[in-house]
Amino acid sequence: MRPEKILDVSLSSDRNFQGDNGALRLIIPANERSVRRGLLTIKSGMSNLSLSQEDWSTVELVIAEVLNNIVEHAYSDSESGLIEAHLDYSHDTLQCKVIDTGRSMPNGKLPKGAPKDLTCNIADLPEGGFGWFLIHQLTRDLNYARHSNQNTLSFRLPFASKD
Amino acid sequence: MELNHKDFDNARLVTVCENRIDAVCAIQFKDEMRKLTDEGPRRVVLDMSQVEFLDSSGLGAVVAALKAKKVDQTLELASLQPAVQKVFHLTRMDTVFSIHDNATSAIGDAADAS
């Protein structure tokens, strides 16, 4: 049995953590359970913002897609890698930077994330490939860079509404 | 991943008793659903009222469940929370599935039709 890792998620939020601004830094092992826990940590870390359900659901979905892509593709479920996420947020936007040391994106470029053709028989419906489509749809200023064995993905999420 | 089910006239109501269908449990969801449709009646309604979060892996698993149903069977969805509805809408999967506002009315429709 694998012991629960208590130190899976490290969190520092020592600057600007007042009012509507904040910064979170997370380092998690590259596996799906840690991604799930990391999302909970981000939710509680950003609670000072009082985000609407709508805005939080976008943040949670985009970060989940980005982190799960790294687990599944950059590290291919090897569970040995780490993912580092930097989140800087204010009342109207979240700036996010995610770093890993797994494999490069295919051809060193961001996958396009084209919409899937659904006008087909049920048997031919796609079961995957929605992740990048969602990331492209929901983010602004999406950028990918590969430098010395390190992948950096950055993007911005504008908040639509406040409670 | 816990799925409960209850059988009505001509319809099986499957309730997802988890608040997430994500990368952690997508494969398990898909396998459990296959069992429940394999041995189920012609109409299966999936009550997702407890699901607060669905990612693309979860969406893929729901699509896989649709593809695994028998030819003469229907798989319909009910009670999508806003965050889940959003994923279906953005990917246009809401045009592929029959989606009911709530499970009670979905099963009521089955009773009326029988």
Candidates B56, B97, B85, B95; CA nearest to A129 is: B56
Confidence label for B112 from pLDDT (cuts 50, 70 and 90): low
Residues in chain A: 163
Domain B3-105 has CATH 3.30.750.24: yes
The second-level CATH assignment, the architecture, of A3-158 is: 2-Layer Sandwich (3.30)
For chain A, what is the mean pLDDT? 88
> Does A55 reach chain B within 8 Å, measured CB to CB?
no
The reported pTM is 0.90
At residue A103, the pLDDT reads 95
**Proportion of chain A above pLDDT 70, given as a percent:** 85
Helical axes B82-90 vs B56-68, angle rounded to 10°: 70
Binding-face residues of B in 56-95 toward A, CB within 8 A = 56-57, 59-61, 63-64, 66-67, 82-83, 86-87, 90-93, 95
- Considering only CB atoms, B60 lies closest to which of A53, A127, A138, namely A127
CA distances B39 to B6, B12, B32, B36, B69, Å, are 13, 10, 11, 6, 10
Residue keyed to tokens 């687990």: A71
Give whichever of A14-18, A90-94, B56-60 has the largest mean pLDDT.
B56-60
Contacts of A27 (CB under 8 A, 6+ apart): A9, A10, A82, A83, A84, A85
Q: Residue B111: its pLDDT value, please? A: 55
Are the beta carbons of B95 and A131 separated by less than 8 Å? no
Q: In this structure, is the dihedral angle defined by the CA atoms of residues A91, A93, A95 and A96, taken in order, positive or negative?
A: positive
Neighbours of B101 (CB within 10 A): 10
Instruction: Give chain B positions within 8 Å (CB) of A116.
Output: 91-92
